[in-house]
Homo-oligomer: A and B are copies of this chain.
Amino acid sequence: MKPNFSVRLRVFNLNCWDIPYLSKHRADRLKRLGDFLNLESFDLALLEEVWSEQDFQYLRQKLSLTYPDAHYFRSGIIGSGLCVFSRHQIQEITQHVYTLNGYPYMFYHGDWFCGKAVGLLVLQLGGVVLNTYVTHLHAEYSRQKDIYLTHRVTQAWELAQFIHHTSKNADVVLLCGDLNMHPKDLGCRLLREWTGLRDAYVETQDFKGSEDGCTMVPRNCYVSQQDLGPFPSGIRIDYVLYKAVSGFHIYCKTLKTTTGCDPHNGTPFSDHEALMATLHVKHGPPQEDPCPAHGPRERSALISALREAWTELGLGMAQARRRAAFAGYVTVCGLSLLVLLCVLAAGEEAREAAILLWTPSAGLVLGAGTVYLFHMHEAKGLCRAQAELQHVLRREKETQVLGSEQQEGDRAEEQ
């Protein structure tokens, strides 16, 4: 890239609410979305909740002239729902599927079956290596009693770690998606502090769209008051986040959201609002950066988020172990019952009742055994994330102590 050269990047992000048989006006919304993306010709269009691969193929065909490259991220049983359409050639692709993603027995929530993930695509734009991430984290069904909080925090940590470890050669990092977290939520802070990513809504000087940048608003005809919970005026859970490494400078020139309706004819594309960001990447020395990612204030905010997450995951782990213990206890009881039934069936007196009860008891053992294994897996996943958090926490504290000692040394020398 030449010294005074600047790369402009127009990005579109939308949670499409494309659930076969369940979402309203699916075909019509998808058609209009395709028309809009063709008309606007973004550099990248990143979509979530495209649960039907047929719909992805429909869009791929419709957008093939404007966006010659595309990818659908497959995972879990149903899929991750993530896909991307790019005006530029995608150099590399990979993905990470989150270890924890809800409970299979909460089948009416459905997240477990989806295989929520983060997709990565590497692009080269005018000599700039751009790592783009698209993700969708576990939904929050109740703000007051959020039974998925630890899973979402673990997902946020895995997302942060995935970005941290896969973007070391990137000049610019971009993350778009539906995080299902409010800006000040623990997972969101953890993600921002560990990766150094900045929020386009906070950073831009030119924002147009829904009040407070909300991406689920009451004006949208597909959004019910129940969806918004204790935030009747709307919530901000979809994001465009970015950063540039040393030697590059990135800023968000404009950020727009839809406001509960299609920009052209009034009916919304989805129950979420779309985000449209125009980013500029320039060559710039590191000192141009007004907010260094590793200053003492940032380090202290990171340590605080790490500590909170560590505690949260500890609580989740204790609960997972309690549940596993209970399921294990039921399994053992069921096994004892099975043995007892076998003894009774061998005798004369209660043979019929014993035979009748044998299959339900075997079902109980299998069911409880499966629940036991599931919660053991959950506890292991939380323990893994907690150990990683602990490791980073220790390293950050060491750096903080070293930093203070150096500052004290400098002061002493000055005196």
Contact = CB atoms under 8 A, between A and B. Distances in A.
Contacts of A161: 94
A391 interface: yes
Contacts of A95: 384
Contacts of A392: 92
Nearest to A117: B384
Contact of A77 (B169, B363, B377): B377
Nearest to A376: B77
A164 B93 CA distance: 11
Interface in A367-391: 373, 376-377, 380-381, 383-384, 387-388, 391
A14 B3 CA distance: 51
Interface string A90-131: 111111110100000000000001010000100000000000
Contacts of A96: 96
A395 B93 CA distance: 11
A27 to B, nearest CB: 24
B359 A363 contact: yes
A93 B391 contact: yes
Contact of A120 (B115, B120, B165, B359): B165
Please classify how large the interface on chain A is, using the bins under 10, 10 to 19, 20 to 34, 35 or more. 35 or more
Given A96-B96, A168-B168, A76 B377 contact: yes
Interface in A342-400: 355-356, 359-360, 362-363, 366, 373, 376-377, 380-381, 383-384, 387-388, 391-392, 395
Contacts of A93: 387-388, 391
Nearest to A91: B395
A391 B169 CA distance: 20
B73 A384 contact: yes
Contact of A168 (B74, B169, B359): B169
A91 B169 CA distance: 18
B75 A387 contact: no
A303 to B, nearest CB: 16
A373 B74 contact: no
Interface string A11-29: 0000000000000000000
A388 B71 CA distance: 10
A407 interface: no
A345 to B, nearest CB: 14
B373 A115 contact: no
A346 to B, nearest CB: 19
Contact of A380 (B77, B99, B166, B387): B77
B74 A380 contact: yes
Contacts of A362: 363
Contacts of A388: 93-94
Given A75-B384, A166-B166, A355-B356, 6 more contacts: A73-B384, A74-B383, A76-B377, A95-B384, A97-B99, A359-B363
9 contacts: A71-B391, A74-B383, A74-B384, A77-B377, A77-B380, A94-B165, A115-B377, A169-B169, A359-B360
